[in-house]
Structure 1
Amino acid sequence: MNKQTFLVEIGTEELPPKSLRFLAESFANNLISELNSIYLSYRTIHWFATPRRLALLVYDLSVMQSERIVQYRGPAIKIAFDCHGLPTQAALSWARTYGITIDQAERLVNNKGEWLMYNAKIPGKKAEQLLPEVISLCLKKLPTLKQMRWGISNFQFIRPVHTIILMLGNTLIPANIFGIDSSAKIYGHRFIGEQTLIIDHADNYLKILLENGKVEANYFKRKKIIQKDAKSAAEKINGIVKIDNILLEEVASLVEWPIVLIAKFEEKFLMIPSDALVHSIVTHQKYFPVYSKTDKLLPYFIFVSNITSSDPQLIISGHEKVIRARLEDAMFFFKNDCKNPLENNLPLLEKVIFQKKLGNLLEKTYRIQDLAEWIATHIHSDACHARRAGLLSKCDLISQMVIEFTEIQGVMGMHYARLGGESEEVAVALMEQYKPRFSGDSLPSHPVSYALSIADKMDTLVGIFGINQHPTGDKDPFALRRLALGVLRIIIEKKLSLDLYTLSVKAIDLYNNKILNSNTTCDIIKFMLGRLYTWYKEKGYRVDTIQSVLACHLTKPIDIDVRIQAITYFRSTEQSVIRLSLVHKRIVNILSQTNEKLNNTVYKNLLKEPEEIQLNNRITAINVNLNSFLLKEQYKDILMDLILLNKEINNFFNKVLVNSPEKKLRMNRLTLLSRLNHLFLTIADLTLLKE
């Protein structure tokens, strides 16, 4: 038989659950790459992963490497032979390297010349000879998570390794990886099933592991079991389970034999805000919350056990004790926090450092307060509410709930603000100030929230750039890239008429004398426009379209967006914008060839030809509507006017001699083209567009 199933399993201590799938997929991708590089064919590769193993099954792997032809090129013919046609030392040395004579060499001829060439037949090796080294390479190329040493060896891996099996069909392949010899022995479940298993054939791996070892090695099957059984468990109490995929993946990575159970907690804990309650259930305990049909949190939770028990109630009781202790703490913290209004925490912010060169959180709070009010005024929002939200924005960071559960900052601020009688706009803004938290996250929902979110992010951006701590490479400890994109997304998607220059200047002014970098404004605008370029590129916009707009050095994100949309629209419907681009390139090329100072205006009395008169009249007519279009951001209308101008421009170039020998005529015509160039640049630098 020339094809067999190949099995590799690395048995370890418990692997990091959040990285398990990534590790297994990387292992499989590495093996695909290595097998292809050594010409070992196969049908497909499936990966398997549990907390204590990474495994791959390669189906229909060739047991013999394919024979292949390798081409070795020698010296050029003019170097390989002397004037008498005899081989030179260079040719002889090359032939000797490959164990052939010059007569055995062939000729390689192409349009660049002629060379000596040797086509060597490389016989294939047995797969079992190659696989140990291949697997070692695949493991070395796994993502560099924190490595560990174990025992007295110097080997390093993500977790200590206990077993290695490399098996091709029913043949155990001798290998030594991490100082461990390959053997047919693997381990089953720690507590149920057989502890030690012997694999007799690669095709039997999954069956033996499942039936004898009580281990479901298929990651996706474990996920499916958890989803199905959790839904059934919730339905038994007339509830609905909400399964977050990130949590599901982590839970599936924590168990080898998933058993889904449902438990409950005391109803008194429902007095805790549901956000905090769910956070404790999900983040700390890895449980799934249960809701009623009306989306109300119920006093139940679903968890996944790793063992089958004859008395599951014992397991349920154990988990109920754990959650009770956790929720008792949360309720204690919540009740204590409710004893004082949120604003009472304000003086305590003075003791919390924002950044050692930029002061404390109280100072940051006052800056955010002023900046949020300024932004709210400019976007026609409620300035008083924005100022109040800015004042309270960081007060929940001192609360006991947030100190204990840091991930719910903002959320608790919202709840405490509501309990304190603050307006709903202010309360919601406290929660939404951190949005968007990650790529693709939702944006703040209300103008007061827009103002607070932008103010918080801009204050951090200005401060960190102001002390010259720019993000470099992959190092961005203050998440400035995320903050910059968050500001840009809010401005663009919520259509806010904010200018990055004036926004940055205002934020800098609020720092007084703490800004050390004199180029802070320029640095921030350059950085933010760079993030904007990447964002548009990732959304699928053409690079030359983005570059053509950014080349105009605009600082209003909404202006940039509308121009990009306008150019993209015309490029998708017709090619006229590309023809306009060619015209623009011609105009710029002509203007670049003169060093003469142009006129301040086009003199009508110097317009002699009908085509230049017509072109000037059309430009004047367009300029009449230009300011109105610009104010209303009607860039599609401007672009349409320019496209319709194509005919007059072509007539001008066909009938009018721009570089007239008469200086006054020449300067007037160049000024007309300069006026036309300026008109193009109200949209974009169209010279950068490509066909």
Structure 2
Amino acid sequence: MPDLLLELFSEEIPARMQAKAADDLRRMVTDRLVAEGLVYEGAKAFATPRRLALTVHGIPARQSDLKEERRGPRVGGPDAAVQGFLKATGLARIEDAKIQTDPKKGDFYIALIEKPGRATIDVLAEILPVIIRTFPWPKSMRWGGRSAKSGSLSWVRPLHSIIATFGLETEEPDVVKFAVDGIEAGQTTVGHRFMAPAAISVRRFEDYEAKLKAAKVVLDPQARKDTILADAKQLAFVQGFELVEDQVLLDEVAGLVEWPVALMGSFDEEFLSIPDEVIRATIRNNQKCFVVRDPKTGKLANKFILTANIEAADGGKTIVAGNQRVIRARLSDAKFFYETDLKTKLEDRLKKFDQIVFHEKLGTQAARIKRIERLAAEIAPLIGADVAKAKRAAHLAKADLLTEVVGEFPELQGLMGKYYAQAQGEDASVAAASEEHYKPQGPTDRVPIDPVSVAVALADKIDTLVGFWAIDEKPTGSKDPYALRRAALGVIRLIVDSTLRLSILNVATSAMVGLPEKGDAQKLPADLLSFFADRLKVQLRDQGARHDLVDAVFSLGGQDDLLLVVRRVEALGKFLDTDDGKNLLAGTKRASNILSIEEKKDKRTFDGAPDAGLYTLPEEKALAKAIDQVKSEAGAAVQKEDFAAAMSAMAKLRPAVDAFFDKVKVNDDEPKVRENRLKLLNEIRAATRAVADYSKIEG
């Protein structure tokens, strides 16, 4: 079957837009093909700095013919309805329609409409201009004399040419005839801007890709990345160094070149007195270059690797020299910033926070630091951290936000605070907390283990959550401008990974002290705990656990110790994977269902202890005895926080429950016996609530 080749050639497309643009092009074209009844075999899109390309193979040469029956008005119906039917179906006269009999509604006219399929190349000529005109660039522009025209093309950068060919692999393809804003589709493109700027005539994708490579253009972004990474590693290895890999930078650099050439440059050793992270940020952010480290020391070497877009006649010496000049100037600035920062102590910077608003409803950054400091001091003894160190760490943790280096490189906040704290002789735990109190910032980020860092990290995140809850700025749908979901997940990971015992309700209540606005002070802690429950469900689900078990545990009430909640959920999950667990769940749900029906019918609950004197069957007595035993053993195990033992105790209930439902008629004809048996069912429900609310468990 025929294949489609499409190329949109323009001025440089921003690297950050290329991957999504290629995916959008593939999606838009293939979606329209399918909508037109043209099911293809495969499609792949590519992007370079100057072109988007798409190949779709295995497309039918034409659409299938369509046959459709359309029901019309009743035979003998109004003439206006008949005339409308004829116009809509294209029939010349009503005699050309069939008559269909409906046993209930009588005879109706039926039109058989046959619509011949169109040639695919004609369909492409219709849909491709629309796709190009409606392409969803994040930012686009108009240019030239056409800019004032209504409906003129808006594109990310000036569009120069379009390739659109369609045909069988064994034949010469046809050009899809269309034009967009005066640019006619053809089969001509150009190669590398400098090394092969001449026009290239292409036919289909294999021919196109091969000719581009010969013209110094690597079409596949992944191939460019592989080349850059391999060549950069080799350059570093030859000099006895190792590349500091950076996937984000690699993605960006691959979007800046069509013919990648890795080159190595150097900078003065004096700049190695700057922290490695500052050197890397300077070289990475300003020149899009990689850094290398000495494997013997683990420290950066005074070398960098750049990616050129040309095979220079001088082997790249001029390009390297130009980059070295710029990098020297940038590193000189960074060195000046760093050395200037070291002259001012962190605490001497804090007065400026009095003039910096954190949020208009939550006060200044200075007021927030005081809240974090107080909360960290309250959390510290609960988790085994030194109170004085926690207060000092919280006091200094945000100070580096006012430094020159962080002003230049915001991504280094926290880390620079650690370096500056170390330089002024602060305790190691206090210095580490400056960096670590921001952690974890995602599911793969490490969790701090120093108790001082953990105390400050918890205080920082909980203050954020409580503050925004107090002013009713909660996440809604996909919107979370203050990253509150991430903060809650960070709290959960800090607690669970560090096996901390902490009452979320108590800490949230304490965090409200000092807030300018407190919202609904009675409702806020419980509402925030519910948010933590939702975040915990997300985390456990990502780890393969069942989210309904979290609901089952939180439904018990008072479950604000997240570590114990996780342990309960883990034990409950393991228990429900056993036959005893599954059968007990089924029996408990059966008891709950019967109780719900009967309580609704009688408009009452069946609380209270059953009367042992009304037991008439041995299965009733056995169940009552089992319930008493399980309540005692499971309750004792829960008190000891031995949830595995509690589940083992619950398993003993299973045979008695099975036997009861097998032999006992709950709705006995004798009212007192019926009531007593319903109370016994309520005892089953009450006994299982020692570990979880089984009614919340699915299955």
Fold in common (TM above 0.5):
yes
What SS does the corresponding residue of 1:182 show, helix, strand or coil? strand
* Aligned equivalent of 1:326, options 325, 330, 337: 330
Aligned-partner residue type, residue 98 of structure 1: T
Change (3 A) 1:121 1:546: farther
Does residue 558 in structure 1 map to residue 554 in structure 2?
no
Q: Report the CA distance between 1:259 and its aligned residue.
A: 0.9
Q: Is the 8 A contact 1:342 1:392 kept in 2?
A: yes
Partner of 1:399: 403
Among 39, 55, 74, which residue is 2:37 paired with? 39
Match in the other structure for 2:162 = 164
Q: Contact conserved, 2:630 with 2:653, CA < 8 A, in 1?
A: no
What is the match of residue 51 of structure 2? 53
- Correspondence for 2:688 among 673, 676, 680: 680
Structure 1 residues 254 and 99, CA, compared in 2 at 3 Å: closer, same or farther?
Answer: same
Aligned residues: 677
> Which of these residues, 283, 288, 300, is aligned with residue 297 of structure 1?
300
Report the equivalent of 2:262.
260
Q: Does 1:366 align with 2:361?
A: no
Distance 1:653 1:48, change over 3 A: closer
Q: Return the TM-score normalized by structure 2.
A: 0.88
TM superposition shift of 1:551 = 4.0
In structure 1, distance between residues paired with 2:572 and 2:133: 48
| Counterpart position of 1:19 | 17
Do 2:418 and 2:434's aligned partners in 1 also have CA atoms closer than 8 Å? yes
Q: Is residue 459 of structure 1 aligned with residue 463 of structure 2?
A: yes
Distance 2:605 2:80 in 1: 67
Q: Give the deviation of 1:305 after TM superposition.
A: 0.8
Counterpart of 1:590 in structure 2 is: 594
SS in 2 for 1:577: helix
Decide whether the 8 Å contact of 1:155 with 1:179 is kept in 2: no
For the residues of structure 2 that align with 1:306 and 1:428, how far apart are their CA atoms?
42
Deviation at 1:104, TM superposition (A): 6.3
Shift of 1:645: 0.9
Corresponding residue of 2:170: none
Q: CA deviation at 1:196?
A: 4.0
Within-5 A mapping of 1:279-678: 279-294=281-296, 295-311=298-314, 312-511=316-515, 513-518=516-521, 519-553=523-557, 554-571=559-576, 573-592=577-596, 593-594=598-599, 595-596=603-604, 598=606, 600-604=608-612, 607=615, 609-659=617-667, 667-678=675-686
**Aligned 8 A contact 2:260 2:309 in 1:** yes
- Contact kept, 8 Å, 2:129 with 2:178, in 1: the verdict is no
**Contact 1:5–1:203 (CA under 8 A) maintained in structure 2:** no
SS in 2 for 1:299: strand
Contact in 1 for aligned 2:70/2:113 (Cα 8 Å)? no
- Distance in structure 1 (CA, Å) of the matches to 2:193 and 2:372: 54
Separation in structure 1 between the aligned mates of residue 400 and residue 662 of structure 2, nearest angstrom = 71
Distance 1:130 1:531, change over 3 A: same
Task: Output the amino acid matched with 2:684.
Answer: L
Alignment of structure 1 residues 78-117 onto 2, 5 Å: 80=74, 97-99=88-90, 105=98
Residue type at the aligned position of 1:46: K
Superposition CA RMSD, Å: 3.2
Aligned-partner Cα distance in 2 for 1:402–1:376? 28
Verify the 8 A CA contact 1:389 1:427 in the aligned structure 2: yes
Q: What do the CA deviations read for 1:454-507 (whole angstroms, capped 9, x no partner)?
A: 211111111112112222233322111221222122223333222322221111
Shift of 1:364: 1.0
1:155 aligns with 2:167: no
Q: Which residue identity does 2:566 align to in structure 1?
A: D
More moved, 594-603 vs 451-460? 594-603
Give the Cα–Cα distance (whole angstroms) in 2 for the partners of residues 115 and 67 of structure 1: 28
Displacement of 1:439 after TM fit?
4.2
Shift of residue 229, structure 1, vs aligned partner: 0.7
Whole-Å separation in 2 of the counterparts to 1:114 and 1:25: 52
Shift of 1:253: 0.5
Q: Is the partner of 1:509 in helix, strand or coil? A: coil
Query: d(CA) in 1 for partners of 2:574 and 2:543?
Result: 15
**Inter-partner Cα distance in structure 2 for 1:108 and 1:458:** 72
Q: CA deviation at 1:254?
A: 0.8
Whichever residue aligns with residue 300 of structure 1, its letter is: K
Name the residue aligned to 2:123. Answer: 130
Tell me how far 1:410 sits from its aligned partner: 0.4
Q: CA deviation at 1:358?
A: 1.0
Residue-by-residue CA offset, 1:70-106 (whole Å, 9 max, x unaligned): 444537xxx8568xxx999978965764346688659
Most deviating of 680-689 and 223-232? 680-689
- Tell me how far apart the structure 2 counterparts of residues 195 and 337 of structure 1 sit (CA, whole Å): 53
* 1:238 and 2:229 aligned: no
| Contact 2:175-2:186 within 8 A present in 1 as well | yes
Could you tell me which of 50, 69, 74 is aligned with 2:71?
A: 74
Q: Which moved more, 1:360-369 or 1:657-666?
A: 657-666
Q: Could you give the per-residue CA deviations for residues 190-221 of structure 1, whole angstroms, max 9, x where no partner exists?
A: 32222544445554322332323x22222121
Shift of 1:302: 0.6
Hey, what's the Cα distance between the residues in 2 that align with 1:194 and 1:536?
55
* Residue identity opposite 1:559 in structure 2: L
Separation in structure 2 between the aligned mates of residue 650 and residue 555 of structure 1, nearest angstrom = 34
Q: Does 2:69 correspond to 1:65?
A: no
Post-superposition Cα deviations, 1:380-411, rounded to whole Å, max 9, x if no partner, equal: 33333322221111111111111121110000
Q: Which amino acid aligns with 2:124?
A: L
What amino acid does structure 2 have at the position aligned with 1:257? W
Distance 1:528 1:71, change over 3 A: farther
1:607 Cα deviation from its structure 2 partner: 4.8
Equivalent-residue separation in structure 1 for 2:595 and 2:326 (angstroms): 77
Q: 1:106 to 1:185 in 2, by over 3 A?
A: farther
Q: Is the 8 A contact 1:92 1:102 kept in 2?
A: no
TM-fit CA distance, 1:589: 2.5
For 1:633 and 1:283, how far apart are their aligned partners in 2? 51
Q: Is the 8 A contact 2:271 2:335 kept in 1?
A: yes
Letter in 1 for 2:409: F
- Given that 1:87 and 1:102 are in contact with CA atoms closer than 8 Å, whether structure 2 keeps it comes out as no
Gapped regions of structure 2 (runs ≥ 5)? 168-172
Residues 332 and 94 of structure 1: CA distance in aligned 2, closer, same or farther (over 3 Å): same
Residues 443-452 or 247-256, more deviating: 443-452
CA displacement at 1:8 relative to structure 2: 1.1
Other structure's SS at 2:512 match: helix
Q: Counterpart of 2:160 in structure 1: which amino acid?
A: H
Question: 1:328 and 1:68, CA in 2 relative to 1: closer, same or farther beyond 3 A?
Answer: same
Taking the aligned partners of 2:48 and 2:613, their CA distance within structure 1 comes to: 86
Partner of 1:217: 219
CA contact (8 A) 2:99 2:110 kept: yes
Any stretches of 5+ residues in structure 1 without a counterpart? none
Give the 3-state SS of the residue equivalent to 1:495 in structure 2: coil
Closer, same or farther: CA 636–74 of 1 in aligned 2, 3 Å: farther
Deviation (angstroms), 1:368: 0.9
Superposed CA deviations along residues 14-33 of structure 1, whole A, max 9, x for unmatched, are 22212311221221132222
Cα distance between partner residues in 2 of 1:88 and 1:678:
73
In structure 2, relative to structure 1, the CA distance for the partners of 1:615 and 1:43 (3 Å cut) is closer
Following TM superposition, by how much is the alpha carbon of 1:293 offset from its aligned partner in structure 2, in angstroms?
A: 1.9
Describe the SS at the equivalent of 1:448: helix
Separation (CA, whole Å) in 2 of partners of 1:566 and 1:531? 20
